[in-house]
Structure 1
């Protein structure tokens, strides 16, 4: 079983127990989050595609770490002008471990009134 989820403006193909790097999410290390923007779920050959999202579907994940990516060098040069600029950038990332993919979320039980 795998799913395609959207987070941080990107789409990721994920499966249970997979570890992925996504753009920074404002969640503390060790906390559990739910990704509700599920675009597609494939289970035993059956594919369910959302329009654009599947209602009721969600993916639960645990935040393993908050880290930064590889350094990217930005170098700009204007020829024959003796003009050069060099900058670097490291993207902030969140490491997620996928716990579960739920196709249809259970409806909450109404509290019994006495």
Structure 2
């Protein structure tokens, strides 16, 4: 049995025990995820095509690891303008191992993520202490104001500095 799964804007043909590298899915390593955006299911001669999705179908997968793709360099230039821009990019990816394909997603094993959250004991909320008044901080001292520089009035003429007499060489 195989399925055509759509995730991360791309379509993948998967069968049981396949490993696929898809765009990042928010799950931790070892978690089980159910992909429910199934476009087509095939089982020998029996092919089910969705309009646009096959209702109720699902694919169970385990997150093997979270990784990143290769570095891609984006280089833009405009000729004769001395204009160049370089930018890099690495895509976040998730490696999935396909566990099971089912026409009825309810038959698939419950995701481990939900089981972990349900099994975790709830912590009792600690009573919040009343907001204690802040210790009185010393008031900030105002910075001393600087005296404004006196401007020479435009009406008063400037005095020329007296020239020094040059020293004579012997």
RMSD (CA atoms): 1.2
> What TM-score, normalized to structure 2?
0.61
Answer 1 or 2: higher relative contact order, Cα 8 Å, separation at least 6. Answer: 1
* Match in the other structure for 2:49: 49
* Match in the other structure for 1:110: none
* Match in the other structure for 1:80: 80
Q: Which runs of 4+ in 1 moved over 4 A?
A: none
Q: Which one has a bigger Cα radius of gyration?
A: 2
* Match in the other structure for 2:23: 23
**What's the CA shift for 1:106?**
4.7
Structure 2, unpaired ranges of 5+: 108-170
| Contact persistence 2:59–2:105 (CA under 8 A) | no
Task: Output the CA distance in 1 between the equivalents of 2:67 and 2:105.
Answer: 31
Q: Which has the higher strand share?
A: 1
Deviations 1:31-74 (A, max 9, x none): 00000111101101210011111111100000000000011110
Task: Report how many aligned residue pairs link the two structures.
Answer: 107
Structure 1, unpaired ranges of 5+: 108-114
